[in-house]
Every structure is written in C-alpha cells, then in structure tokens.
Amino acid sequence: MMNSFLKDEIDSLSPENKTGASRRGFIQGSIAAGFAAAVAPTGDLLAQVITTDSQGLTAGFVEIPGKDRSIPAYRAMPSGKTKLGCVIVVHEIFGVHEYIQDVCRRFAKLGYMAVAPNFFVRQGDVTQYKTVPEIFSNVVSKASDAQVLADVDAALTWAAANGADSAKVGITGFCWGGRIVWMASAANPKLKAGVAWYGRLMTQVNAANPNHPHDIADKLNWPVLGLYGGKDDGIGLDTVEEMKTRLSFGGKASQASEFVIYPEAPHAFHADYRPSYRKEAADDGFKRAVAWFKKHGVA
C-alpha cells in the first residue's frame, strides 16, 4: 500500500486536482521525468506559474563547504548589498528545481539573501527517476535528519561569509522541507524564525529520521509559522491540533509558534507548477511568511 506521503505528492501532481489543468510544461532540465508517472506534460499550467526575473540580483548556483563534501546551492540576493537578512529555503522531494529557485528570487527581490542547498546531493539525482516512489525510495528516504540539519548549519556559515547578517537568519520549507523547518527549530539555535509549508507532523520513524515534529514540539529554539491546507489528505488536522497542544507545553519559542489553516487548500497549495496550486492561499501565505520573518528579526 502506498504511504500517505507519496499519495499526497502524486495527488498534488494530478490534473484531477484542478479542472482542466495538468503540470506545467517546463521543469528545469530533465526533472520532468520525475513527474512523468503522475501527470503527462502539457502547457496548461503555464498561465499560473510565477516567473521572477534576476534583474538587480546576483543569482545562480554556488558551492557550500559541508562536513564531508561540497554542497551545491542556489543563491539569490540583491547585487552589491551586504549584511542582509537571510532565508534558507528547503526544497520539496524534487530538489532545487525552477520553482525553488524562483522562490529564492522572490525573497531576494524583497531584500533578502535566499539560499537553497541541494540536500540530496549525496543520495543521487532526482531527475534520473521516472516515478515519485522511485525518488522517495532511492533518494529522499536516505537523507537523514542529522545530515540535512548539518547542511543547514553549513549553509548558515557560508551565508554569513558571503553577505548575510548571521544575526538575521530564518528558514522556510515546502512539504518535505516543511518538516525539516520544524526539526531545525529544535536542533539549531542560530536562526530566528521559520515558516513550514504543509510539512508532515507525524512521519515514519527510522534510523535516518528518529523523531516526529510532534516529538520535539516542546523544545523549539525559535518560533515556527505553520501554513497548512484544510483539504490536505496526507496531513490530518488532528495532527495539527496535537502539535498545537504539544507546543503549548514547551518554552517561549514553542508557545509563540502559530498555525494558519486554509480550509479549501490541498497539499502543495503554494507550488505554482502543480495542479494543487491555489493562488489566494499561496499569496496570503507568502505575505504572512514575510511578515513573520520581519516580526522575529529576519529582515
């Protein structure tokens, strides 16, 4: 039986989620192969895809020194600026493709440095797999929390040496990356705030991922804003309510964390390249994310 995480991902790529829509006709390079099992490529979604230019920005791939190897990352920032607020962007299971790069440019246009490391560089190239389950089993499931959180720390060090203000750093992530935001809050006190977009709160526990976000809810070092869809079949609202309860028993940062639920939104409602995209919820969520970062000193 397909687990709920994979079902959520495949459902969000399916045209049935939105009348007359299918996935966008372009995804950087051969990443399209990773979506092929879910949706046939057409251009129907092009009208909703947000494209942010790089005018006035320094944008492109960089290499971040990690504990055991160099980590490729997409970086966007205002050209010629220093001491910038910084946002670490944690990708979905599909890696640092065009959508994630565009999110970085959106933050850069607002005056931030945004850095999106490839957290799967050790596990393999997601573009080489033809189905979502293959991506999950061969790449995603092998990325341990310990490795990913160490890479977050490496990204912070690199950012501080390359134009960011180390006292003004936040993190945001989508789906798989949303869960990482919660885990990072308990593991890394160097950041100021996080925004988790539909990150799972109850996950499979194993050697690579030994804890749920529920398990660390009372141990947060900085507040997290959770943005979730009321019609996300893979993340029950009961798990959100349980998270709220557990946060209430924690310290100041845990108690300062908040949730916003968009009643009509499905999983991946911010992903403008998927049929699951819901513009109203996505726009409101991004505005709230920016306000959250400003409120907590990431600006």
CATH number, domain containing residue 32? 3.40.50.1820
User: Is residue 50 in some structural domain?
Assistant: no
27-31, 81-85, 197-201, 256-260: range with lowest mean pLDDT? 27-31
pTM of the model: 0.91
User: Is residue 273 in some structural domain?
Assistant: yes
Question: How far, in Å, CA of 134 to CA of 82, rounded?
Answer: 41
User: Is residue 46 in some structural domain?
Assistant: no
User: Is residue 213 in some structural domain?
Assistant: yes
Question: How far, in Å, CA of 146 to CA of 1, rounded?
Answer: 28
Catalytic residues: 175, 232, 267
Can you give the residue range of the structural domain that contains 218? 4-16+25-40+57-295
If you average pLDDT over every residue of the chain, what do you get? 89
User: Is residue 181 in some structural domain?
Assistant: yes
Mean pLDDT over 3-12 rounds to 64
Q: Give the pLDDT confidence of 219-275 residue by residue, as tens digits.
A: 999 999 999 999 999 999 999 999 999 999 999 999 999 999 999 999 999 999 889
Residue 199 pLDDT more than 70? yes
In the DSSP assignment, the letter for residue 218 is G
- Token match 């977009």: residue? 197
Q: Give the pLDDT confidence of 73-109 residue by residue, as tens digits.
A: 999 999 999 999 999 999 999 999 999 999 999 999 9
* Overall domain count for the chain: 1
Interior/surface letters 201-215, b for 16+ CB within 10 angstroms, e for the rest: bbbeeeeebeebbbb
Name the strands in the sheet holding 84-90, side by side, starting at the edge strand that comes first in the sequence.
57-65, 70-78, 113-117, 84-90, 164-174, 193-197, 224-229, 258-262
Q: Where are the beta strands (DSSP E) in the chain?
A: 57-65, 70-78, 84-90, 113-117, 164-174, 193-197, 224-229, 258-262
